[in-house]
Homo-oligomer: A and B are copies of this chain.
Amino acid sequence: MAVNRRWLLASRPPGEFDESAFKLEEAPVPSPKDGEVLVHNIWLSLDPYMRGRMRDVKSYVPPVQLGAVMEGGTVGEVIESKNPAFKKGDIVEERLGWQEYGIGTGKGMRKIDPGLAPISTALGVLGMPGLTAYFGLLDVGAMKAGDTVVVSAATGAVGGPVGQIARIKGAKRVVGIAGGKAKCDYAVKELGYDACIDYQAMGRDTGQLIKALRAACPDGIDVYFDNVGSWITDAVLPLVNFKARIAICGMIAEYNLEKPELAPRITRHLLVNSARMEGFIILNFRQRFGEGLREMSGWVKSGQLKYREDVVDGLENAPRALLRLFKGENFGKQLVRIRPDPTRR
């Protein structure tokens, strides 16, 4: 009988983590019950939020239990269906985790049309990261034409779409912050950022980053889309304009901290500028996913919205791929190709 390889959470590292936090095991391929669907996964998405699921602390969802399969978004092919809404051969997006096979109940499972775009985009620009960019910028960030928009992790799975949507929606100026010359060049030449600041050479010197941001944003900052947190965010806050909006989407620079860093308080910048800072998660917008996907799909088809994938082959490499994210080594949406994609030839 076929074997299901899967990654379990093996420990809860308090700070920096390595592959030993996970354990690869082999289990029998499960059988679907009435109403269920057996999916053979093709693509696994790796995302910064996963670090939070490895911790046993209050967050917006419960943590992964020790010994349980690591959570994650997947795209795969239905190989057996006991649910009339899905049939063998359907390509579906679900959250089946770090494993080769998974059982879906159909609820929350989304059929993907391979004719529209590569099916892996259902985990990226036409999936959670893309929707996060869309609602985070336009709704939480309340971006309007004429704004100066700053985006951290500017070429990432979320940041990349944010910069381009800001452009499409008439921002006056779109400025990225990213790590390394290659990403910054890509942000400006391919994604249409007006400028991109390479933070990597700055050695966490907030003053130096403030200077670079001031030069790049001569009219101040109206919207800050934050994927990074920590000293990057410290540098943005002093430059926000009256009624600025700061959308807190993620803080990858803080997820590995054992204790919160100490930093100058930022509330003064909110007070003197009547500015707003708001955290969000994409599930808050689940009633509006269709609206977002329609507009985003149109932009992808017309070529206005570009995306980039960073593919690691083989489920056995999933922990390594997650580590890439936390080292900033990924360039574009981090994916694991669990097996060859049958829809791409």
Interface set of A (CB-CB < 8 Å, partner B): 52, 58-60, 226, 229-230, 233, 242, 248-251, 254, 259-281, 284
Instruction: Name A279's contact: one of B261, B271, B278, B281 (CB within 8 Å).
Output: B271
Q: Judge whether B260 and A279 touch: CB under 8 Å.
A: no
Q: Judge whether B284 and A279 touch: CB under 8 Å.
A: no
- Asked if A251 meets B279 with Cβ closer than 8 Å, knowing A260-B264, A263-B263, the reply is no
Q: Judge whether A260 and B265 touch: CB under 8 Å.
A: yes
Interface SS of A by simple majority: mixed
Residues in chain B near residue A233, CB distance under 8 A: 267
11 contacts between A and B (CB under 8 A): A58-B272, A60-B274, A226-B267, A250-B271, A251-B267, A260-B265, A262-B262, A263-B263, A271-B279, A274-B284, A275-B279
Report the copy number of this chain in the oligomer.
2
Q: Judge whether B274 and A281 touch: CB under 8 Å.
A: yes
Instruction: Name A275's contact: one of B262, B271, B272, B278 (CB within 8 Å).
Output: B278
Residues in chain B near residue A276, CB distance under 8 A: 276-279
Nearest first, the 9 A-B pairs at minimum CB distance are A260-B264, A270-B279, A271-B279, A262-B262, A276-B278, A59-B272, A277-B277, A248-B271, A274-B280
Q: Judge whether B261 and A265 touch: CB under 8 Å.
A: yes
Q: Judge whether A268 and B284 touch: CB under 8 Å.
A: no
Please measure, in the bound complex, the distance between the C-alpha atom of A317 and the C-alpha atom of B106, giving whole angstroms.
Answer: 74
Q: Judge whether A267 and B277 touch: CB under 8 Å.
A: yes
